């Protein structure tokens, strides 16, 4: 997930960004594709890659070498990312420029050596199609101008026209796939429904999610309507990503850890499981990754969602998780701050992770997003250490 902190202000009412004087984007009228424009293959068809290690591991096969990618790998720790970012005073204008999205999406593959690219975007692009206006403010993050405070408004939320409202995302996928060729797969993503709902109800970032949880506990039937609508829109959005070329899907329910096991199981789990089941029914060969931050207590539930891969945050003991769930493929979970250590220390930590994993298929990653002041050399040291035999 990108860009939920300290970004320049932009009001995004749901229309595509277009530099002044440019022609209208063809993305605004993209059809529901039956053929992937990225590869020319039937929509969602499996593509052959020179480096398929991530796909192999995610599907339980042992790759020639273990795969690694980094959450927020297209980010501010890279000088070339900062150069491209500086072209846009507004963060979401950046997200709505498919050519620049493709450029920064591919940068970590070229510069860090990761085994997959992840589309540069943001989980909150779903809000405008559903009638909410979001602004990213410097040092404050996302602010929703019209948060959900009325039950009738929640009941009347539109599903949105994804092909017209989010055509820039799908064009970014197409251009990223074109730039990647057959080198590595592309990961698409969306926020989990609880996490996206938190911004819709709270109006921005929150330390307690008190408004959302008050809705959940006091009027669970209204909360269920909101989560259900989000699950439906998210499912459609992710299926469109696959149709336009995404090879892997990640669901990032970053704030699920704010819930206790009973509330999560009763009120969120069924909707996330439905998203995954719908994806797998239509695209059984496309791996689905589920990740939540700060939620070790919910791991038993995450392993029952139906995701091919369960992402672990850095608070989970990797060895304990592997022993407790011998048939589950995991992703993670080096502490992001470990990349402040020397390359030699990073290599030692990776060696210890690999000893825990043993002969199992595993997707190596950090336990949360890479921090913006990490040295690219240290990120490369992490990737290289995973690849070393």
Whether residue 292 lies inside any domain: the answer is yes
Residue 351 CB neighbour total at 10 angstroms: 12
Distance CA 100, CA 115 (A): 21
SS3 content of the chain, % helix, strand, coil (to 5): 45, 10, 45
Return the minimum-mean-pLDDT range out of 40-49, 62-71, 112-121: 40-49
Whether residue 39 lies inside any domain: the answer is no
Q: What confidence score (pLDDT) does residue 377 get? A: 98
Instruction: Classify 285 as helix, strand or coil.
Output: coil
pLDDT band for position 163 (cuts 50, 70, 90): confident
Whether residue 303 lies inside any domain: the answer is yes
Whether residue 18 lies inside any domain: the answer is no
End-to-end CA distance of the chain: 30
Triad 121, 271, 278: Cα angle to 5°: 75
Residue 139 CB neighbour total at 10 angstroms: 8
Instruction: Classify 141 as helix, strand or coil.
Output: strand
* 111 prior amide bond cis, ω within 30: no
DSSP string, 329-376: EEE--B-GGGGGS-HHHHHHHHHHHHHHHTTS--BB-BSSPPPTTS-H
Residue 326 CB neighbour total at 10 angstroms: 7
Q: What confidence score (pLDDT) does residue 38 get? A: 57
Does position 81 have pLDDT exceeding 50, yes or no? yes
Q: Which tens digit of pLDDT belongs to each residue from 347-371?
A: 999 999 999 999 999 999 999 999 9
Q: Distances in Å between the alpha carbon of 180 and those of 46, 67, 174, 266?
A: 15, 17, 10, 41
The CATH number given to whatever domain includes residue 271 is 3.20.20.210
Q: What is the rounded average pLDDT of the residues 52-67?
A: 96
Instruction: Classify 2 as helix, strand or coil.
Output: coil
Q: Percent of the chain at pLDDT above 90?
A: 83
Whether residue 310 lies inside any domain: the answer is yes
Q: What confidence score (pLDDT) does residue 43 get? A: 59
Tokens of 346: 């990073």
* Crossing angle of the two packed helices 210-218 and 220-243, in degrees rounded to 10: 120
Q: What is the mean pLDDT of the chain?
A: 90
Number of domains composing the chain: 1
Triad 218, 221, 225: Cα angle to 5°: 125
Q: What confidence score (pLDDT) does residue 278 get? A: 97
Q: Which tens digit of pLDDT belongs to each residue from 276-319?
A: 999 999 999 999 999 999 999 999 999 999 999 999 999 999 99
Whether residue 196 lies inside any domain: the answer is yes
Does position 34 have pLDDT exceeding 90, yes or no? no
Active-site positions read: 72, 76, 85, 122, 199
Q: Which tens digit of pLDDT belongs to each residue from 241-263?
A: 999 999 999 999 999 999 999 99
DSSP string, 255-275: TGGGS-HHHHHHHTHHHHHHH
Whether residue 14 lies inside any domain: the answer is no
Distance CA 148, CA 150 (A): 6
Whether residue 369 lies inside any domain: the answer is yes
Distance CA 385, CA 273 (A): 34
Q: Burial level of 340, CB count in 10 A (0-12/13-18/19+)?
A: middle
Rounded to 5 degrees, what are φ and ψ at 189? -160, 165
Tokens of 345: 């220390």
Q: In terms of residue numbers, what domain contains 160?
A: 45-387
């Amino acid at each position: 997930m990108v860009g939920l902190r300290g970004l320049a202000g932009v009001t995004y009412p749901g229309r595509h960004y277009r530099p002044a004087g440019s022609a209208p984007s063809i993305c605004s009228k993209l059809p529901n594709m039956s053929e992937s424009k990225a590869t020319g293959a039937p929509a969602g068809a499996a593509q052959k890659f020179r480096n398929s290690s991530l796909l192999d591991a995610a599907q339980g096969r042992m790759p020639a070498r273990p795969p690694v990618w980094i959450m927020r790998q297209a980010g501010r720790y890279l000088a070339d990312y900062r150069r491209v970012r500086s072209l846009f005073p507004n963060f979401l204008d950046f997200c709505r420029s498919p050519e620049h999205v493709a450029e920064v999406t591919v940068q970590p593959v070229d510069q860090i050596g990761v085994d997959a690219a992840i589309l540069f975007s943001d989980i909150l692009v779903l809000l405008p199609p559903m009638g909410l206006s979001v602004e990213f403010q410097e040092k404050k993050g996302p602010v929703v101008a019209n948060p959900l405070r009325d039950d009738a408004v929640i009941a009347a939320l539109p599903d949105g026209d994804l092909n017209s409202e989010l055509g820039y995302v799908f064009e970014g996928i197409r251009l990223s796939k074109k730039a990647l060729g057959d080198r590595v797969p592309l990961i698409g993503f969306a926020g989990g429904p609880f996490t996206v709902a938190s911004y819709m109800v709270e109006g921005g970032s929150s330390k307690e999610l008190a408004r959302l949880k008050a809705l959940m506990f006091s009027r669970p039937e209204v909360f269920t309507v909101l989560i259900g609508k989000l699950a439906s829109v998210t499912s459609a959005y992710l299926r469109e990503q696959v149709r336009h070329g995404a090879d892997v899907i990640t669901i990032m329910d970053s704030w699920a850890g704010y819930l206790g096991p009973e509330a999560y199981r009763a009120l969120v789990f069924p909707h996330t499981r439905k998203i995954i089941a719908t994806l797998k029914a239509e695209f059984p060969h496309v791996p689905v990754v589920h990740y939540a931050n700060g939620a070790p207590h919910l791991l038993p539930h995450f392993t029952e969602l139906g995701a091919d891969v369960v992402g672990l945050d850095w608070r989970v003991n990797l060895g304990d998780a592997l022993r407790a769930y011998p048939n589950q493929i995991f992703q993670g979970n080096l502490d992001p701050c470990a990349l402040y250590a020397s390359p030699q220390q990073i290599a030692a930590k990776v060696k210890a992770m690999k000893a825990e994993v043993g002969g199992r298929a595993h997707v190596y990653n950090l336990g949360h997003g890479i921090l913006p002041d990490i040295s690219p050399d240290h990120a490369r040291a992490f990737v290289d250490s995973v690849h070393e035999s």
